[in-house]
Amino acid sequence: MDVLAYIWLGIQAVFLGPEAFSILGIPVSITVMMVLCGFLFGIVVGATPGLAGPFAMAISLPILISIFGYSPDALLPVMGFLIGIMKGATIGGAVPAILFNTPGTPDAFMTTLDGFPMAQKGQAKKALRVAHFSSASGDTFSDIVLFVCAPFLAIIVEAYLDLPEKTGLLILSLSFIAAVIGGSAGKGLISIGLGLLAVYVGTGEDFYPRLSLGADGLSRGFPITTAVLGVLIIGAVFKELEEAWRNTQRTTPVQAPVESGDQNLHWADIKRLFPFIARSAFIGTAIGALPGVGSTLAATLGYTVGRARHQKIRAADAPRFGEGAPEGIAATEAANSAVSGANLIPVLSLGIPGNAAAVFLILAAESIGGFNPGPAVFRFSPDVVNPELVIAFGLFTCMTIANLFNWTIGGVFMRSMGFMINIPKTLLLPAVLLLTLTAIYVQETRIEAIWFALGFGVLGYFMRVLGISPLPFVIAFILGRSLEETARQAYSATGNDPFFLLNNPIALIFVLMSVAVILFAGRKPKGTAP
Amino acid sequence: MTGQSRSNLYLGLFCIAFACVLMFIWIPLDTKTGIVVKARGKYNIGDGLAPTVAAVFVLLGGLLMLLERNATEQSVIRKNQLKFVASLTLVIIAGFTIMRFAGPVAVELTKLFRAEPLEYRLLRATAGWKHIGFILGGTFMISGLIAVVERKLTRRAILTGIIAVLVLIAAFDLPFDDLLLPPNGDV
């Protein structure tokens, strides 16, 4: 089978899969509906300060798996829903940032700088339109790069990298993630080390489950959901609750600013904004393709580059960046949205999750089975159909559908979400906490899982307090077993050579790059993690 | 949360000490095959190697933190944060303890007034009985957490707890026969 045949099969898997309902005899696929539901849910969550895409993914996953089961047929509806959330939350985050000067998601912080001044001038709806247009443009560009690059990268990895090199690549990825996430390589390494340690508890090849302290509860290891949801979600809820506890809570409902003047986005506006969008989309995509580098950095970089350009070409009467320039919103939103698609390049081509959304996609794939993100997915077998490749092209189709929803109904829906600011965090977050713990329990059905998740939650909280990003921990937890397994296989394949990493030129380069990236990042501490 | 502190130094020292405990005490004593294992005349990778690599990451991180000991902005764990997170944890533990035992206790109380034998384990799939623990424990947990954050217990907090618990039952329990709400997988 050739490439086009696989692409066609992927599209068919989405559109001709199980039917949700039919309109005038035309069947509507359940996967398409799930992408739509996920997308709308993502906008709602993104527009709610204190929540973010990963929260929604975490609480949805067990419900989705309960609905669709563990068969390969469940992969596309479940992952389509998660992809919808990922995209919806990105544009939803701009709503409270523009209307109320409160970023709905961390990467929307830079949007407040120009969005809120525009809203104060009565241009709220126009600012939201600029944000939506820029976000959808950046996201679409990023997805196209993903569709093209992920298969090529995977093919190159499969063709040129053997087991020692793959081991070296995993070490390089972990080192890179430690170095770039947060502000300190030292804290990144600690986070990675703790994540690896946690995944190795209760596992191993010997009959005795290692590091289990002889305890029955630890002998089965920590379930992945307890570690991921504990550190990422429960830790974040604790931190948000602490902030709500320290701050005086708003008691009166917040009103959207009054609008005045023309709120439409005209062709002339688009022409003026386009260079800023294009530049930021490129920056966001390039940054997103690197595992671990988040959308917040992309937004900051896009904004900074946009501001430098704007200062040179700005008309005398046009507002500067920070004073309500639409170009500022465009530069930020295009950059942070362009990260989401590109972030899936390392997941799909290398099996290395680069951000929290990718972590949940891997979690979904692991829970359901039948799809293991990594270079082996893109094996274009001519004689026998590679079902994983069909799923991969199905996921690309889901992303395209989500983009279509984004372009068509996303703007209208996001502009109606301003009221979400009035939902008090103090009431919402405890409910999210019980929801998360319940979701863990229904998957694991043992109370130990709750205690593990709570323990990881406390760890995640203190990591945040100390400025240690929890994302390297989660990524290390996910990659830990693969690292050990690949190293064992490489050791055997090289005739029990203990120096297999050093005797293989490419593996050696990866190891040296790992050392270099840590030394380079460790040279200049940059303060606390965001 | 930031200021002139020595938290990087303390974090670094703690991580170095923890890594040493891992490498020299925990891993050797709690793995059967060590870093390498000899089998059929060949040396193979043992179960101790991977955790040792993890410990090396922690050790390197700790050493780098020592180099960053004079960084201008250093995060600090404050006493009130410890108290706050301890309060949250206690409320959650209490909530799940109520959840775990409320159903069986209700059955024991009912047995006092009924002649027929009752056992919670046999009732954990029966509507009503299976929800007692989740409703009481869940409501306690949510309203308790809200009370900790808002520094007072209000009717709004209790109402939020009840509504959230009912929504969760509607989401997880009513549509799916195969899902078990806590604590029904353990009793």
Same domain, B59 and B101: no
- Nearest by Cα to A135 from A321, A336, A358: A336
Same domain, B83 and B150: yes
Nearest CA-CA distance, residue B70 and chain A, Å:
9
What pLDDT, on a 0 to 100 scale, did the predictor assign at position A373?
87
Q: Is the pLDDT of residue B89 over 60?
A: yes
Q: Which of B75, B91, B106 is the last residue of a domain?
A: B75
Tokens of B116: 């027929």
> For the complex shown, is ipTM > 0.90?
yes
Nearest-by-Cβ selection for A205 from B47, B58, B95: B47
Residue B179 within a domain = no
Same domain, B12 and B36: yes
Residue B62 within a domain = yes
What pLDDT, on a 0 to 100 scale, did the predictor assign at position A317?
81
Which DSSP letter does residue A233 get? I
Per-residue confidence at A99, pLDDT binned at 50, 70, 90?
Answer: confident
Q: Which of B21, B43, B75 is the last residue of a domain?
A: B75
Per-residue confidence at A96, pLDDT binned at 50, 70, 90?
Answer: confident
Which of A16-30, A375-389, A440-454 is modeled with the greatest confidence?
A440-454
Q: Is the pLDDT of residue A297 over 90?
A: no
Instruction: Tell me the average pLDDT across B86-103.
Output: 95
Same domain, B108 and B158: yes
Q: Which of B24, B46, B75 is the last residue of a domain?
A: B75
The tens digit of pLDDT for each residue in A184-210 reads 889 999 999 999 999 999 998 888 899
Residue B156 within a domain = yes
Count the domains in chain B: 2
What pLDDT, on a 0 to 100 scale, did the predictor assign at position B24?
95
Kindly determine whether residue B33 and residue A242, on different chains, have CB atoms separated by under 8 Å: no
Instruction: Tell me the average pLDDT across A9-36.
Output: 89
Instruction: Tell me the average pLDDT across A96-113.
Output: 79
Same domain, B169 and B86: yes
What pLDDT, on a 0 to 100 scale, did the predictor assign at position A323?
86
What pLDDT, on a 0 to 100 scale, did the predictor assign at position A104?
66
Residue B60 within a domain = yes
Per-residue confidence at B90, pLDDT binned at 50, 70, 90?
Answer: very high
Same domain, B57 and B99: no
Q: Is the pLDDT of residue A38 over 90?
A: yes
Q: Does A399 touch chain B (CB under 8 A)?
A: no
Same domain, B32 and B100: no
Q: Is the pLDDT of residue A529 over 50?
A: no
Same domain, B59 and B99: no
Same domain, B70 and B36: yes
**What are the counts of helices (DSSP H) followed by strands (DSSP E) for chain A?**
24, 2
Same domain, B83 and B11: no
Instruction: Tell me the average pLDDT across A53-79.
Output: 87
Neighbours of B140 (CB within 10 A): 22
Q: Taking a C-beta distance cutoff of 8 angstroms, is the pair B12, A468 a contact?
A: no
Tokens of A390: 């069909």
> Strands A19-23 and B2-3, how do they pair?
unpaired
Residue B37: which region, alpha, beta or left (left: phi > 0; alpha: psi -120 to 50)? beta
Residue B38 within a domain = yes
Instruction: Tell me the average pLDDT across A471-483.
Output: 92
Among chain A residues, CA nearest to B168: A435
Residue B90 within a domain = yes
Q: Taking a C-beta distance cutoff of 8 angstroms, is the pair A401, A32 a contact?
A: yes
What pLDDT, on a 0 to 100 scale, did the predictor assign at position A250?
52
**Mean of the per-residue pLDDT values of chain A:** 87
Kindly determine whether residue A208 and residue B60, on different chains, have CB atoms separated by under 8 Å: no
Domain ranges of chain A: 3-523
Residue type, B44: N
Residue B186 within a domain = no
- Nearest by Cα to A228 from A105, A374, A341, A353: A353
* Domain with B159 in it: 79-173
Of the two residues A102 and A164, the one the predictor is more confident about is A164
Q: Does B128 touch chain A (CB under 8 A)?
A: no
What pLDDT, on a 0 to 100 scale, did the predictor assign at position A242?
93
* Residue appearing with tokens 């696929």: A29
Judging contacts by C-beta atoms under 8 Å, the chain B residues touching residue A434 are: 95, 138, 141-142, 164-165, 168
Instruction: Tell me the average pLDDT across A39-58.
Output: 87
Same domain, B27 and B105: no
Tokens of A76: 């596309």
Nearest CA-CA distance, residue B82 and chain A, Å:
9
Query: CA distances (Å), A187 to each of A471, A521, B60, B78, in order?
Result: 11, 11, 10, 19
